[in-house]
Chain A
Amino acid sequence: MTFINNAAIIKRQLMVRLARMMFAGTLGTQIDHIPLQQAPRESQSVRCCIHHDRAVLRYRLKALLGFAIENETTEDEIRSLASYVTEAEQKGDSRFGDQILTVIDEACSACVRANYRVTNACRGCVARQCIMNCPKQAIHIENGRAVIDEKICISCGICAKACPYHSIIFQPIPCEEACPVNAITQDERGKEKIDETKCIHCGRCLQACPFGAIMERSEMFDILRAVLNPAKTTVAMVAPAIVGQFNTDLGKVVTALKKLGFDHVVEVAYGADLTAAREAGEFVERVEHGSTCMTSSCCPAYVEAVNKHIAGIKPMVSDTPSPMQLTGDWVGQQWPGARRVFIGPCVAKRAEARASRNVENVLTFEELGSILVAANIDVMECETSSPDQAASSTGRRFAIAGGVAAAVITAAAEKGVKAEEKLFNGLDKKAFATLKSLDKIIKNTTFIEVMTCEGGCMHGPGVISNPVVARRFLEKMLKDQQ
């Protein structure tokens, strides 16, 4: 079960406030009021005081404008948010630097390094197995209760196993525990830092942090500027996982996007159809040349993981462009010069888009939802309309784990190559170990699908809907399509 997360709700409330000001044309003059509106004088603070809350809100707004918090100097602390709006405007359409995620050090609570903590269930017993068995002598008794010295503790966990009262608990550092590639670690102050040379932009840390200290560098400012400019042609390219995101049919979302100001709406599932056909062709060719297996390449966090951590299997990764790339290419031919905005559930797509000529911007479902709220567009009440380019059920199935493999294997069978399917549903440390030794494990002709998010794109970090609910919508849509 997933729970409502207040850190995520605050982020969305800020997105709504920011977008509202953009629609009203008052962002440049009013943005510095947002932290005060969000945390007014008489409100109860979440952190030590409302001033700390407001400081963090300020940083969140900076990230929403696209800035990286790490680049801030001491002088920048007294800069107005309005000056950042001006800077973002001046930057124009030029792209941001490489960093995708940013850590708000002011929000990071510098979690305790030692993973084991003695709770008040400790009775200060005579046996004292925790002290007796600690290999580092990190535990002593204080006021009749065991205390672990965080500086000495090596988080081996023996004390927790030894305690007859189960009074010692395991307490992870949520972001570090969530990261599958150890890319996020503490600095000397205990604040988390992301190592870009390791990060695969899966977005798990951002979902895991209970303080909401990790943010994406949003592109919503640039996107809204383009959408609100009637002289610019903008195309919304919606990912297959859009189905069910607004508790309604795709047709209504298409209308909502057009009401918002997008000139055209295209299903990326159309590109997924193209990817499936091309990837099957590539697979058949590889098999004919003696390969036993090939892996999918549409999940950008997986491709990044291969590049940064398991380069040895790179020859087995498909060279076929992702559905986003092929859709963007098609859109570019259809409406030359148009601003192409990929709307999806994914953080890693931001990195893929930045390195690509086929897409200009990336928006998450969560950002889109907040923008629609700000624009007072109710998706449920929109009429149904068709996208400018629709897709088949094959492409739409890319949204859930297994969809890519099913498409490629079916298409390969039509070309006379029978293949087995292997699915890596969620990229964790175990999956990494298996992937590393693929050539030893795979014996028969096999197509391998790798999804970084367990369950597939519908479980991505940028979704609104509970994946169980979204999946029901997709399944109903696929059934109706047959």
Chain B
Amino acid sequence: MSKKFKITICSGTACYVMGGAQLMMLEDLIPAEFRDQVEIVGSNCLQACRDSSNGQPPFVRINDYLMESASIARIVDYLRKH
């Protein structure tokens, strides 16, 4: 069965150094209510940093949505609203 959200965390060096390292804790820290709804995958560079109009790293893709300046709190907030 496919999950409601597929969260792809960019682990490219630019994202990782600019705060993405903390996102690796998402699996440990995500509230229990979402645990069954999300599939969390790490990824090589999503190339989002190549285009400055995408905003600032770290980047995360949630289904089709590209989140800039991602943090665990912002990801959880997004899940709550969708």
In the complex, chain A residues whose CB is within 8 Å of the CB of B12: 378, 380-381
Kindly name the residue among B12, B21, B24, B44 whose own CB sees the greatest number of chain A CB atoms within 10 A.
Answer: B21
Query: Within 8 Å CB of B19, what residues of A?
Result: 4, 9
Asked if B41 is an interface residue, CB under 8 A from chain A, the answer is no
- Residues of A close to B29: CB separation below 8 A: 1
Asked whether B21 lies within 8 Å of A247 as measured between CB atoms, the reply is yes
| Category for how many chain A residues contact B | 20 to 34
Q: Is the CB–CB distance between A13 and B18 below 8 Å?
A: yes
User: At the interface, yes or no: A464 with Cβ under 8 Å from chain B?
Assistant: yes
| Contact bitstring B3-42, A, C-beta under 8 A = 1, else 0 | 0000000011110111101101100110000000000001
Q: Is A193 an interface residue (CB 8 A)?
A: no
With A380-B12, A466-B25, A469-B24 as known contacts, state yes or no: A247 contacts B17, CB within 8 Å: no
A366-B71 Cα distance, complex, nearest whole Å: 19
Q: B45 within 8 Å of A by Cβ?
A: yes
User: Which chain B residues lie closer than 8 Å to A370 at the CB level?
Assistant: 17
Task: Determine whether the beta carbon of A380 is less than 8 Å from that of B18.
Answer: no
**What residues of B have a CB within 8 angstroms of the CB of A178 in the complex?**
none
CB-based contact A12/B17 at 8 Å: yes
Residues of B within 8 A of A85 (CB): none
Which A residues are in CB contact (< 8 Å) with B45? Answer: 378, 380-381
Q: How far is the CA of A468 from the CA of B22 in the complex (A)?
A: 10
Contacts of B44 in A (CB 8 A): 378, 380-381
Interface range, B side: 10 to 19
Which of A3, A13, A366, A369 contacts B13 (CB under 8 A)? Answer: A369
Minimal beta-carbon separation of B1 from chain A (angstroms): 28
**CB atoms of A464 and B25 under 8 A apart:** no
Q: Measured between C-beta atoms, what is the minimum distance from A145 to chain B in Å?
A: 32
Q: Is the CB–CB distance between B13 and A378 below 8 Å?
A: yes
Shortest B44–chain A CB gap in Å is: 5
B-chain residues with CB within 8 Å of residue A372 when the two chains form the complex: 13, 17
Residues of chain A contacted by B13 (CB below 8 angstroms): 246, 256, 369, 372-373, 377-380
Q: Which residues of A contact B14 (CB under 8 A)?
A: 373, 378
- Residues on the B chain within 8 Å of A246, using CB: 13, 16
Q: Identify which of residues 205-225 in chain A touch chain B, using a CB-to-CB cut-off of 8 Å.
A: none
Whether A143 is near chain B, meaning CB under 8 Å from some CB there, is no
Least distance between A82 CB and chain B CB atoms (Å): 26
* Closest-CB distance, A390 to chain B (whole angstroms): 23
Of chain B, the residue at the smallest CB distance from A248 is: B11
B12 to chain A, nearest CB (A): 5
Return the CB mask of A234-262 against B: 1 if under 8 Å, else 0: 00000000000011100000001000000
| Max count, chain B CB within 10 A of own CB: residue among A2, A366, A380 | A380
Asked if residues A464 and B24 are in contact (CB atoms below 8 Å), the reply is no
A residues less than 8 Å from B11 (CB atoms)? 247-248, 380
Most chain A CB inside 10 Å of its own CB: which residue of B17, B18, B44, B71: B17
Instruction: Report if A425 contacts B (CB, 8 A).
Output: no
Would you give the shortest CB distance from B48 to chain A, in whole angstroms? Answer: 13
Residues in A whose Cβ lies below 8 Å from that of B24 = 247, 465-466, 469
Pick from B13, B14, B24 the residue with the most CB of A within 10 Å: B13
From the candidates B16, B17, B28, B71, name the one contacting A4 in the complex (CB within 8 A): B71
Name the residue among B11, B16, B28 with the largest chain A CB count within 10 angstroms: B16
How many Å from the CB of B45 to the closest CB on chain A?
A: 5
B26 → chain A, closest Cβ, in Å?
11
Contacts of A2 in B (CB 8 A): 22
CA distance A380 to B14 in the complex (A): 11
The interface residues of chain B lying within 8 Å CB-to-CB of A377 are 13
Task: Check if B18 sits within 8 Å of A373, measured CB to CB.
Answer: yes
Question: Do A469 and B25 touch across chains, with their CB atoms under 8 A apart?
Answer: yes
Residues of B within 8 A of A3 (CB): 22
Contact B21 A9 (CB under 8 A): no
A365-387 vs B, CB cutoff 8 Å, 1 = contact: the mask equals 01001101100011111000000
Rounded to whole angstroms, the CA-CA distance of A304 and B71 in the bound complex is: 37
Q: Closest approach, in angstroms, between the C-beta of B55 and any C-beta of chain A?
A: 13
Kindly report which residue of chain A lies nearest to residue B19, judged by CB atoms: A4
Tell me whether A468 and B71 are in contact in the complex, defined as CB-CB below 8 angstroms, given that A373-B13, A373-B18 are known contacts. no
Whether A247 contacts B16 by the Cβ 8 Å rule is yes
Q: Which residues of A contact B21 (CB under 8 A)?
A: 247, 464-466, 469
- For this complex, 23 residue pairs linking A to B, each with C-beta atoms less than 8 Å apart, are A1-B29, A4-B19, A9-B18, A12-B17, A12-B18, A246-B13, A246-B16, A247-B11, A248-B11, A256-B13, A366-B17, A369-B13, A373-B17, A378-B12, A380-B11, A380-B12, A380-B44, A380-B45, A381-B45, A465-B21, A466-B25, A469-B21, A469-B24
A residues apposed to B, CB below 8 Å:
1-4, 9, 12-13, 246-248, 256, 366, 369-370, 372-373, 377-381, 464-466, 468-469
Question: 6 nearest interchain CB pairs?
Answer: A369-B17, A469-B24, A247-B11, A4-B19, A373-B14, A380-B44
Query: B residues touching A (Cβ–Cβ < 8 Å)?
Result: 11-14, 16-19, 21-22, 24-25, 28-29, 42, 44-45, 71
